[in-house]
Amino acid sequence: MKQYNVCMVGIGAVGTEIVRLLRKRKFPLGKLTVFATRERTELIDGEPVEVKVATGPESFKGYDFAFFAGSEGAKGASKTLGWGAAEVGCCVIDNGDDFRMDPRVPLCIPEINADALKGHQNFIANPNCSTSIALMPLYALHREAKIKRLVCCTYQAVSGSGAAAVRELENQTRAWCAGEPIVHEIYPAQIAFNVIAKIGSESKDLPGYTSEEVKLGRETRKILGDDTIQIVSTCVRVPVYNGHSEALHIEFHNPITPERAREILEQTPGVLVTDDLANSVVPTPLEASECYEVLVGRIRKDPTVDNGLALFVSGDNIWKGAAQNAIQIAEKMIEMGLK
């Protein structure tokens, strides 16, 4: 089997999981190198990973794939290094948001729109975590009944903000239990035993909404290839270590029953139906953590609109929301003979 040389920009939470998942999924890996802010050797699950500093496009010569993981000073790195890497023949898979809406760049969830990878220019964008988790169940329902309007409320884990945010929740929880003062640095308010209805900065294009909320709408329309879908969202940070959850209220153009939706979702790759309200079987972020599939449940009719359904989903924001999806893009490109 052909092996592929892989490099990665950033070795924070997402970068570390990319390394783990490359091994776990038995990716046909040749050489693996990490580019970060300083040279060193990192141990990931007891195995060494070489860390270098990228100096320009020449650093990416000889690599088949470059995952831009968006951490350790690498946020926005695709702006300075991405296209240079692409021009020397390395296929960039970017977890950042700099080029997601660029018409040159496929925005891909392989189970949904793998055809978008055809004709790529060695640069592919990974969607935002909340977008990927929502669309895994939604795309199959969209094919059946066509989404007219989506109302989405997210419950997003602190791991989405990186390792420092996870430590902040841990430290605040310990301080609260000990009756000590609670300090916050990563978030604008205490996150332990609290929720914060602000993720990202305020949008310049859509006043009153945050950048995270705007991303969800724009990326959904691009991935599904339908600019007519109306989308409104509220994105909320919650005191959960890992795993994003979302309440989805969907209005369709065509009739669809909860029973038909459940039947479709049970046959949808990458989705696991956990829906037994009578026995308290519902999706949870804890269950979704380190699970390849997105969990979907609470499948029910929305009686307030014609052709309406309501769902609740949970997914691993570091896996399917970032690292796993990026690797699946590379796997799909190999499968399709695009690399």
Spell out the domain ranges in the chain.
Answer: 4-126+322-335, 131-317
pLDDT for residue 74: 47
- Long-range contact pairs involving 263-268 (C-beta distance under 8 Å, separation at least 24): 264/140, 264/141, 264/144, 265/137, 265/140, 265/141, 265/296, 265/299, 268/111, 268/136, 268/137, 268/140
Model confidence pLDDT, tens digit, residues 175-210: 999 999 999 999 999 999 999 999 999 999 899 999
319 pLDDT exceeds 90?
yes
- pTM assigned to the model: 0.95
Provide the pLDDT confidence category of residue 79 given band limits of 50, 70 and 90: confident
Q: Tokens standing for 91?
A: 């296929």
Round to whole Å and give the CA distance between 315 and 294.
5
310 pLDDT exceeds 50?
yes
Superfamily of domain 131-317: Dihydrodipicolinate Reductase; domain 2 (3.30.360.10)
Decide: residue 287, CB within 10 A, 0-12 exposed, 13-18 middle, 19+ buried: middle
Provide the pLDDT confidence category of residue 80 given band limits of 50, 70 and 90: confident
The residue-averaged pLDDT of 52-70 equals: 93
Looking at the chain, the whole-number percentage of residues with pLDDT higher than 70 is 98
Q: Does 4-126+322-335 carry CATH code 3.40.50.720? A: yes
Q: Tokens standing for 7?
A: 């490099």
Model confidence pLDDT, tens digit, residues 120-141: 999 999 999 999 999 999 999 9
Q: Do domains 4-126+322-335 and 131-317 have the same CATH topology?
A: no
Find tokens 């239990």 and name the residue: 177
Angle at 261 between CA 274 and CA 144, to 5 degrees: 140
pLDDT for residue 75: 57
Q: What is the three-class DSSP state of 143?
A: helix
Closest CA relative to residue 247, chosen from 155, 153, 171: 153
Closest CA relative to residue 8, chosen from 100, 96, 110: 96
Provide the pLDDT confidence category of residue 72 given band limits of 50, 70 and 90: very low
Model confidence pLDDT, tens digit, residues 283-306: 999 999 999 999 999 999 999 999
Contact (Cβ atoms closer than 8 angstroms) between residue 118 and residue 88: no
The beta-strand segments (E) located in the chain are 4-9, 29-35, 40-44, 47-52, 65-68, 91-94, 123-125, 147-156, 230-237, 244-252, 271-273, 294-301, 308-315
The residue-averaged pLDDT of 96-117 equals: 96
Q: What are phi and psi of 4, to 5 degrees?
A: -125, 130
Model confidence pLDDT, tens digit, residues 240-274: 999 999 999 999 999 999 999 999 999 999 999 99
pLDDT for residue 324: 97
Provide the pLDDT confidence category of residue 71 given band limits of 50, 70 and 90: very low
Round to whole Å and give the CA distance between 94 and 101.
12
108 pLDDT exceeds 90?
yes
Adjacent-strand bridge partners of 8: 34, 67
Catalytic residue IDs: 129, 244
149 pLDDT exceeds 60?
yes
Average pLDDT, the chain: 95
pLDDT for residue 73: 40
Q: What is the three-class DSSP state of 273?
A: strand
93 pLDDT exceeds 60?
yes
Round to whole Å and give the CA distance between 24 and 26.
5
Provide the pLDDT confidence category of residue 1 given band limits of 50, 70 and 90: confident
The residue-averaged pLDDT of 216-224 equals: 97
